[in-house]
Amino acid sequence: MRIGTAKVSREIDKVCIEKLKIPGIVLMENAALKVINNIKMSEINSFVIVCGKGNNGGDGFAIARHLHIKDKKVQVFFIGNPEALSGDCKTNYIIASNLGIKICKLNNIEDLDYFRSCISASEMVIDCIFGTGLTRKVEGIYEQVIGIINENSRNTLSVDVPSGINSDDGEVMGICINAHNTVSFQLYKRGFLKYSSNKFIGKVVVEDIGIPKEVIEEICPKEFVLHEDFIKKAIKPRDKHSNKGDFGRALIISGTEGFTGAAYISTETAVRSGAGLVTVLCPKDIQNILSCKLTEAMTINFTQKEKIEEVMCKARAIAIGPGMGNNLWTFSILEQVIEKSKCPMVLDADAINVLQDHKDIIKKSSNTLVLTPHPGEMSRLTGLDIDYINENRIKVAKEFALENNVILLLKGYNTVITDGKTTFINSTGNSAMANGGMGDCLTGLITSFIAQGYEPLEATCISAYIHGYCGEKLSNEMFCVNAKHVMEYIPYAIKEIIE
Ligand SMILES: NC(=O)C1=CN([C@@H]2O[C@H](COP(=O)(O)OP(=O)(O)OC[C@H]3O[C@@H](n4cnc5c(N)ncnc54)[C@H](O)[C@@H]3O)[C@@H](O)[C@H]2O)[C@@H](O)CC1
Ligand SMILES: [K+]
């Protein structure tokens, strides 16, 4: 799903209408029909539709017409003066009136009692008050109408945007509709990504309204919400004639005394997610512990210089950082590995922390590097305030990726994955997963998918999605989900997703 702002929506409409000469009313009709497709007609028979004076209201009058044609009970309420209507909204208002659909005006307090009783008696309220054209705080009659809908509606469907939410930044402009479902057009509105929007948008469906692909490509920034369909298409089925060599070798450089868990989790995750051969490189004093814990993966230690060279040379992906310590030793290992290896690398945890004053080594590197900071690590890495990062996640991630020529995965609510040019937002995962080891697990996953031959950006997206998917699924049955549970579930989850 493409992500977009109100400005982008307006530009798309403008190009379609003015350049391609697709009449606006055609797009409005498509939009209305897509809303109709999203209503369970066999279950719902009585509707209240609340229309504003812009094109969002126009969608509402067209929806009313289609419901009327389907013999549904439809009561439309209109906020504003019909004389002042213009354009496509006016056309659909006139058609609905000519069809004899009841349209009541909502202009003052006296109108509200009847409105309230209709809402209570209806099975669904369709909210077409404001869409992407909301420009100021919701006040007066609008505020009262939205309050009444929220208090009395059993089932509210918002058209394009829940009225009252700023579609660009998710800010509630005073008050907003608490939608059960939102049918949004063409673009997943950027404001929906804000954490607090979750409470208002309900289940969101994004519908195509007939905008030509060329227009989307020309106008929309390359920002997408990761969707199961994308992951399904991206993961390739395994050829029955393949062998372990086809699924690549992964090297995990991780762990110190007291942090064997990080090395174990990242390595074992790489094994369980399908890499052909996995080796962990760790300090000698923890090698035996890891050898006992790991069954399929191999272990080597930092004293085995020749072996290290050989494994590095054969690796198709290397992970570095989990549980290594934020110190000069880690930095010197990172520097050597970046210099000597040619394959893509995943830098996590302490491999990110040690970069604080040495970003030049990533900038200079000819390897594809994937960095996976959480907001705290991102703050240390960039020197930016953590609140600023949280408020500007996409912007900060894109700028960093572009400037340093890396793929960046910024953890947190709605994980951002970007190479600076194309950006993906992952919406899977939840707070049941907020505990130690989860990051190590993600690192193992990304490394494994790169080793299996996926492009690093694609591998990072697939991994983030699967990681969150496992957490979400497991949290249906578990109060909290640990990395061990995710690790165990991964091979089953991948199968579930692709089938
Ligand atoms: N051709 C198009 O442009 C299409 C537009 N579509 C619909 O049109 C919507 C955008 O339409 P518009 O740009 O007309 O905008 P809206 O329908 O969102 O509403 C804008 C109107 O509300 C007023 N307004 C804004 N904030 C207000 C506030 N706080 N209190 C009171 N009045 C306020 C504005 O002055 C304007 O008259 C989309 O969200 C979508 O639903 C769809 O029909 C598809 C095609
Ligand atoms: K709306």
State the SS3 of 110-177: HHHHHHHHHHHHCCEEEEECCCCCCCCCCCHHHHHHHHHHHHHCCCEEEECCCCCECCCCCCECCCCC
Atom in ligand 1 nearest the alpha carbon of residue 24: 1
CATH 3.40.1190.20 in the chain, residue ranges: 231-498
Greatest alpha-carbon pair distance for the chain in Å reads 86
Q: Counting Cβ atoms within 10 Å, is residue 211 exposed (0-12), middle (13-18) or buried (19+)?
A: buried
**Ligand 1 pocket check: which of 90, 130, 145, 157 to mutate, most ligand atoms within 8 Å of Cβ?**
130
Centre a 10 Å sphere on the Cβ of residue 383 and count the other Cβ atoms it contains.
Answer: 7
Cβ contacts of 298-304, under 8 Å, gap ≥ 24: 302/333
CATH class of 3-221: alpha beta
The pairing of strands 423-426 and 223-225 is: parallel
Q: Residue 425 and residue 204: Cα distance in Å, rounded?
A: 15
CB-based contacts of 222: which residues, under 8 Å, 6+ apart?
Answer: 421, 422, 423
* Lookup: tokens for 424: 């993906």
CATH superfamily of 231-498: Ribokinase (3.40.1190.20)
Nearest in space to 6 (alpha carbons), one of 135, 151, 139: 135
- Minimum CA distance residue for ligand 1 atom 11: 55
Q: Residue 234 and residue 464: Cα distance in Å, rounded?
A: 13
Q: What radius of gyration do the chain's Cα atoms show?
A: 27
Could you tell me the pTM of the whole model? 0.87
Atom in ligand 1 nearest the alpha carbon of residue 209: 44
**Single-letter amino acid, residue 355:** L
Ligand nearest to the CA of 158: 2
Crossing angle of the two packed helices 456-475 and 438-451, in degrees rounded to 10? 140
CB-based contacts of 256: which residues, under 8 Å, 6+ apart?
Answer: 282, 283, 286, 323, 324, 325
Residues framing ligand 1 (Cβ under 6 A): 13, 24, 27-28, 31, 52-59, 130-138, 142, 159-161, 185, 209
- Minimum CA distance residue for ligand 1 atom 40: 56
**Ligand 1 pocket check: which of 17, 55, 207 to mutate, most ligand atoms within 8 Å of Cβ?**
55
Ligand nearest to the CA of 55: 1
pLDDT of residue 81: 85
Nearest in space to 154 (alpha carbons), one of 126, 175, 112, 129: 126
Task: Tell me if residue 69 falls in helix, strand or coil.
Answer: helix
Question: Per-block average pLDDT, block size 10, for the chain (499 residues)?
Answer: 93 93 95 97 96 96 97 95 88 96 90 94 97 95 96 97 95 96 96 88 94 93 91 86 81 95 97 95 96 94 95 96 95 95 95 92 92 95 93 93 96 94 93 91 97 97 96 94 96 92
Atom in ligand 1 nearest the alpha carbon of residue 62: 43
From the CA of 385, how far away is ligand 1's center (Å)?
36
Task: Specify whether the CB–CB gap between 207 and 183 falls below 8 A.
Answer: yes
The pairing of strands 407-410 and 415-418 is: antiparallel
On whether ipTM exceeds 0.90, the answer is yes
The pairing of strands 249-253 and 317-320 is: parallel
The DSSP bridge partners found for residue 426 are: 415
Ligand nearest to the CA of 35: 1
CATH 3.40.50.10260 in the chain, residue ranges: 3-221
Ligand nearest to the CA of 54: 1
**DSSP classification of residue 356:** T
From the CA of 481, how far away is ligand 2's center (Å)?
36
* Lookup: tokens for 6: 């109100």
**Ligand 1 pocket check: which of 22, 92, 132 to mutate, most ligand atoms within 8 Å of Cβ?**
132
From the CA of 202, how far away is ligand 2's center (Å)?
13
CB-based contacts of 224: which residues, under 8 Å, 6+ apart?
Answer: 1, 2, 3, 230, 422, 423, 424, 425
pLDDT of residue 74: 97
Q: What is the pLDDT of residues 41-66, one digit of tens each?
A: 999 999 999 999 999 999 999 999 99
Q: Which residue has the tokens 């969150």?
A: 468
The DSSP bridge partners found for residue 253 are: 281, 320
- Minimum CA distance residue for ligand 1 atom 39: 131
- Minimum CA distance residue for ligand 1 atom 1: 24
The dihedrals phi and psi of 463, each to the nearest 5 degrees, come to -65, -45
- Minimum CA distance residue for ligand 1 atom 4: 28
